[in-house]
Amino acid sequence: MPLDLNQHRARATRWGYETRLFVGALIVALPALLTLLVVLWTDEEMRSWAMLASILVTLTTVVLAFEVRRRAVYPLRTMANLLEALREGDYSLRGSAARRGDAIGEVVIEINTLSQTLREQRLAVEEKSALLAKVIAALDIAVLAFDAEGFLKLANPAAERLLGSPFDKLNGRAAAALDLGDWLGAHEPRISERTFPGGSGRWEVRRAQFREDGRPHDLLVITDLSRALREEERLAWQRLLRVLGHELNNSLAPIRSMAATLAKLLAVEPLAEDWRDDAGSALGVIGDRAEALARFMARYTAFARLPPPKPKSFAFAELVQRIVHLEQRMSVLVEAGHEIQINADPDQIEQALINLLKNAVDATLPGGGEVRVRWQQSGDGVTLEIIDSGSGLPHSENLFVPFFTTKPGGSGIGLVLARQIIDAHDGSLSLENREDAQGCVARVILPL
Q: Does 118 fall in a domain?
A: no
Residue 2 has a pLDDT of 46
What strands, in cross-sheet order, belong to the sheet with 381-387?
Answer: 333-335, 372-378, 381-387, 440-447, 428-433
Same domain, 436 and 383: yes
3-state DSSP assignment of residue 80: helix
* Same domain flag for 275 and 368: no
Whole-angstrom distance, CA of residue 104 vs CA of residue 311: 80
Same domain, 291 and 275: yes
Residue 215's contacts (CB-CB under 8 Å, 6 or more residues apart) are: 147, 148
Note whether 219 and 239 are same-domain residues: no
Clarify whether residues 201 and 176 are in a common domain.
yes
The helix/strand/coil state of 387 is strand
Mean pLDDT for back-to-back runs of 10 residues, the chain (448 residues): 50 64 73 71 63 74 79 81 85 78 81 87 85 81 88 88 86 87 82 81 85 83 78 69 66 75 75 73 76 69 70 86 80 82 85 83 82 84 86 62 52 70 84 83 85
Assess if residue 122 is contained within a domain: no
Last residue of some domain: 88, 118, 146? Answer: 88
Residue 150: CATH number of its domain:
3.30.450.20
DSSP 45: T
Q: Which of 84, 89, 161 is nearest to 125 (CA)?
A: 89
The number of beta carbons lying within 10 Å of the beta carbon of residue 179 is 13
pLDDT of residue 3: 44
Residue 404 is classified by DSSP as -
Before 270, cis peptide (omega within 30)? yes
User: Which of left, alpha, beta for 285 (phi over 0: left; psi -120 to 50: alpha)?
Assistant: alpha
So what's the pLDDT on residue 396?
A: 52
Q: Which of these three, 281, 303, 325, is where a domain ends?
A: 303
Grouping H, G, I as helix, E, B as strand and the rest as coil, residue 426 is coil
- The answer to the question of residue 115 being in a domain is no
The answer on 436 and 319 residing in a single domain is: yes
Helices in 327-435 by DSSP H: which ranges? 346-364, 414-424
In a domain, 113, yes or no: no
**Domain match, 434 and 337 both:** yes
Residue 267, domain member (yes or no): yes
Write down the pTM of the prediction: 0.43
Note whether 224 and 333 are same-domain residues: no
Of 27, 53, 88, which marks where a domain is finished? 88
In a domain, 98, yes or no: no
Question: Domain residues for 204?
Answer: 134-228
Reduced to 3 states, what is the DSSP secondary structure of residue 311? Answer: coil
265/140 same-domain check: no
Classify residue 211: in a domain, yes or no. yes
Query: Count of CB atoms within 10 A of residue 440's CB?
Result: 20
Instruction: Assess if residue 443 is contained within a domain.
Output: yes
pLDDT given at position 344: 87
Q: Is residue 293 located within the same domain as residue 336? A: no
Half-sphere exposure of residue 43: CA atoms within 13 angstroms, side-chain side: 13
Residues 34, 83 share a domain: yes
What is the tally of structural domains in the chain? 4
Q: Supply the CATH number for residue 363's domain.
A: 3.30.565.10
Angle 221-225-226 (CA atoms, 0-180°, nearest 5)?
Answer: 140
Residue 24 sits in the same domain as residue 50: yes
The pLDDT assigned to 1 comes to 42
Q: Which helix (H) or strand (E) holds 205?
A: strand 199-212
- pLDDT at residue number 96: 78
